[in-house]
Amino acid sequence: MFDGATYDPERDKERLKTQLFIVWRLMRDGRWRTLEQISARVGCPEASVSARLRDFRKKKFGGHTVEREFVRRGLFKYRVIPNE
């Protein structure tokens, strides 16, 4: 399911699968949130949240639309539009 040069299934699979599920559960409502807001709600680091949002775009994770909107000075907010 997951891949990448540093991915070790034994070490990473369950953690990434859990992150994917909890970020999805929050973001599937289509509301705009910053990485900081998502991170605070789900208890995952912002870098992990960002990676999971990228995963949602991939066909193997649903091919969902992930929109990004500039807020100010390097701050963006995101929303997920589920692919029916």
Mean pLDDT over 37-41 rounds to 98
User: pTM for the whole thing?
Assistant: 0.94
Q: What is the pLDDT of residue 38?
A: 98
1 part of a folded domain: no
- pLDDT band at residue 32, thresholds of 50, 70 and 90? very high
- pLDDT band at residue 8, thresholds of 50, 70 and 90? very high
Q: What is the pLDDT of residue 1?
A: 86
62 part of a folded domain: yes
Mean pLDDT over 54-58 rounds to 97
User: Which residues neighbour 43 within 8 Å (Cβ) at sequence distance 6 or greater?
Assistant: 22
Query: Residue 28 in contact with residue 80, Cβ under 8 Å?
Result: yes
At 6, give phi and psi (nearest 5°).
Answer: -105, 5
47 part of a folded domain: yes
Has residue 84 got a pLDDT over 90?
A: no
Domain that holds residue 25: 9-81
26 part of a folded domain: yes
User: Which residues neighbour 73 within 8 Å (Cβ) at sequence distance 6 or greater?
Assistant: none
In the chain, DSSP assigns E strands to: 33-34, 65-72, 75-81
